[in-house]
Homo-oligomer: A and B are copies of this chain.
Amino acid sequence: MLAVTVSITAVALARKLALLWRGMPPSEASPPVRMKDIARELGLSVVTVSKVFRGHVDISEETRRRVLARMEQLNYRPNLAARSLATGRSYTMGFIAPDLVHPFFSELAKHIAGAVRRNGYHLLMSSSQEEASLEKEEIEHLLARRVDVLIVASSQPDPGGLRSVAERKTPLILIDRRYDRFPAHFVGVDDVLVGRLATQHLLEQGCRLIAYIGSANASTSLGRLAGYREVLAGAGAGYRPEYVATRSHGDDVGDETGYAAMKSLLALRPRPDAVFCHNDPTAMGAMKAILESGLRIPADVAVVGCGNVRYSEFLMVPLTSIDQDCAGLGKKAGRLAIELLNRPVKRPRTILLQPTLIARASSVAARF
């Protein structure tokens, strides 16, 4: 009997080694270790093993040691599907952005992920391509996956589409873009201030005919527009509706939108001598349009963007931009998310970070 066992084992081992030798994985990998396996080996119950794993206190030091040691050896990893089913938590958060290739949102994703990582949380990310319907679909998809928290930089024109989420028990955190009087947590910057900073800066550079390129979809764009108008009004510089370009079509490609919008603005008389763009990709497109028209930046037209995206300084003309502290936003959102897992659902919290202007060549001393 023993001989037979040995010989079978030997054959199996030989086969395995042969496969490894040829650089191939074994045809049948050993199935993952389960608590049951460890329990049986150590003559304990599954419950005890589970308790040790979760750091429960009513376990003797001796037992704990043995279990942990064995887990280490076998490289035990809990089956999260099983755990999810039992606990009702997925240890997963959803993050939806209009465009994950836009450096602002990918940077955001990176920092959120970093903030929740230590708590064993992973991010399921989706891109809505700046389309409200796709966003709704993705929200449903993530909700079906039972994400524990949903973080959304929303593309909904109004909060109606998010209403159904708010009605479920999954906590919802809006980031960057928000809706007034909508019962969800919010992490972002003061967009009106963003608009003020940018416009004020352009005025200080001597610009007088300041245009704005925004998007009709995004709340951020509206806030920035408000700040822009406010400062213009205060300066007596006059607000001209024709200097404001806000497209409503889904622009997950801000650069193209910015290019087209700037082309139109440049055709106006008097021609604008500055443009404030509601995000950096849009500003890139605008800069391209300006240079193509044979005009100089900032001498003929000064440009200010927003987001202070990673590659801003490598653009045609280094881009002045409003920094939104992307890293800060991500971290705050991540921390808030973790907090919401345990705390009872309190009233919506709003976290606002301060935007700051980073001056670069695209605007500095435009008129001098």
Contact = CB atoms under 8 A, between A and B. Distances in A.
A66 interface: no
A182 B22 CA distance: 10
Copies per complex of this chain? 2
A56 to B, nearest CB: 20
Interface string A61-101: 00000000000000001111110110000101000000011
A90 B81 contact: yes
B110 A78 contact: no
Contacts of A20: 167
Given A106-B106, A126-B113, A146-B81, A311 B313 contact: no
A124 B79 CA distance: 16
A169 interface: yes
A284 interface: yes
A310 interface: yes
A168 interface: yes
Contact of A314 (B28, B79, B288, B310): B288
A59 interface: no
Interface of A: 20, 23-29, 32, 77-82, 84-85, 90, 92, 100-101, 103, 106-107, 109-110, 113, 122-127, 140-146, 166-169, 181-183, 255, 281, 284-285, 287-288, 310-311, 313-317, 345
B122 A124 contact: yes
B113 A106 contact: no
A25 B314 contact: no
A142 B77 CA distance: 10
